[in-house]
Structure 1
């Protein structure tokens, strides 16, 4: 049996249990049809013209008074520009989690290394899908690194001030100045050096 600590470490276990416990509600085709029609901004009269089905027939289907034939289903799908399976699929519900984390200037969590001075942002949130942080690039030479930097995920880099050379394993080095950005596969070897007199300042966002 999974204890609380394991659920804290593996949040997907908790999500799976919640999904298992949810009861699947039977789909009401009439309600689903009305949702699709309303999403298209159509009146019953307009939907009737598009589908070739009588307005009264559409009304009866939406009110669960009759069940449409397969031929009627085809007309509905064609007229409403959806696939037949979409008539049976419940609409996706987007639930806002209300997560938010504000980091004031200079209040990020410091994480210095030999080549960078990182400032981790949004540190109060756990299990983030993105990891944002600002960095001062201390390195000035390619040789300052013992090896390529590689890690899982994808990464976005924006130069906030100064100028850098962006080295990557499969491309020629490229010079990036203030306002320039690059998006790349972080599994590919990469590294940065500052070209400007002052350490370049960059914004990094790593996504898993």
Structure 2
């Protein structure tokens, strides 16, 4: 009787359902960046090859990561693309940003809602990603008022730390206490509809494309 193969072990490298990072070798990273720059300049392979003084066949191999170009060739390509030679290595030397904020040292931010007793503290910032993530600690003081007209691009996650309120998103309302989480499309009108127990503290994490 034929036995089925045992299930493969789960991939534990991502820490989530997100796909794993694909690390490109230097040749592939160079080729990717040169192709992106060429397309940004609306140039064909033949046009860039001619401007750089190399054959179109060689350029195709460079863009596909099949050969390792010399520094002289890279310099000619950089000149033809009107960029510094270091720009060709940007895909290889990608930054992996990290932001650390000590307790009580978030940056106060003026946002809609600030004037009605909603205090915002920005808890971190990174600039190297195509996705912007804005983490805020929001405090609704004793004199805070309800406000359900927030609306912006992206997704938002709210995690209640203390207090109690009813939070409205679109046509639905959610009774939230300590430990409750709400994740929603921020394109719909949203905000705290009824403040039951003040002060309230909650994390608001807003995510949107750059």
Matched with 1:106 is 104
Displacement, 1:169?
Answer: 2.1
CA contact 1:119–1:133 (8 Å) conserved in 2: yes
Matched with 1:132 is 135
1:119 paired with 2:117, answer no
CA contact 2:122–2:137 (8 Å) conserved in 1: yes
Give the 3-state SS of the residue equivalent to 1:135 in structure 2.
strand
5+ long unaligned stretches in structure 1: 1-14, 28-92
Give the paired residue count.
123
Matched with 2:80 is none
Matches within 5 A, 1:1-208: 19-20=36-37, 23-26=63-66, 97-112=95-110, 113-115=114-116, 116-123=118-125, 125-126=126-127, 129-138=132-141, 141-142=145-146, 145=147, 148-171=149-172, 173-192=173-192, 193-196=194-197, 198-208=198-208
Q: Deviations over 1:9-54 (max 9, x none)?
A: xxxxxx9767336632239xxxxxxxxxxxxxxxxxxxxxxxxxxx
Q: Deviations over 1:56-100 (max 9, x none)?
A: xxxxxxxxxxxxxxxxxxxxxxxxxxxxxxxxxxxxx99863211
5+ long unaligned stretches in structure 2: 1-31, 39-61, 68-90
CA contact 2:160–2:178 (8 Å) conserved in 1: yes
Runs of 4+ in 1 over 6 A off after TM superposition: 15-18, 93-96
**Partner Cα separation in structure 2 for residue 94 and residue 180 of structure 1:** 41
CA contact 2:95–2:128 (8 Å) conserved in 1: no
**Partner Cα separation in structure 2 for residue 179 and residue 118 of structure 1:** 19
Matched with 2:85 is none
Give the 3-state SS of the residue equivalent to 2:63 in structure 1.
coil
Displacement, 1:164?
Answer: 1.4
Displacement, 1:170?
Answer: 2.0
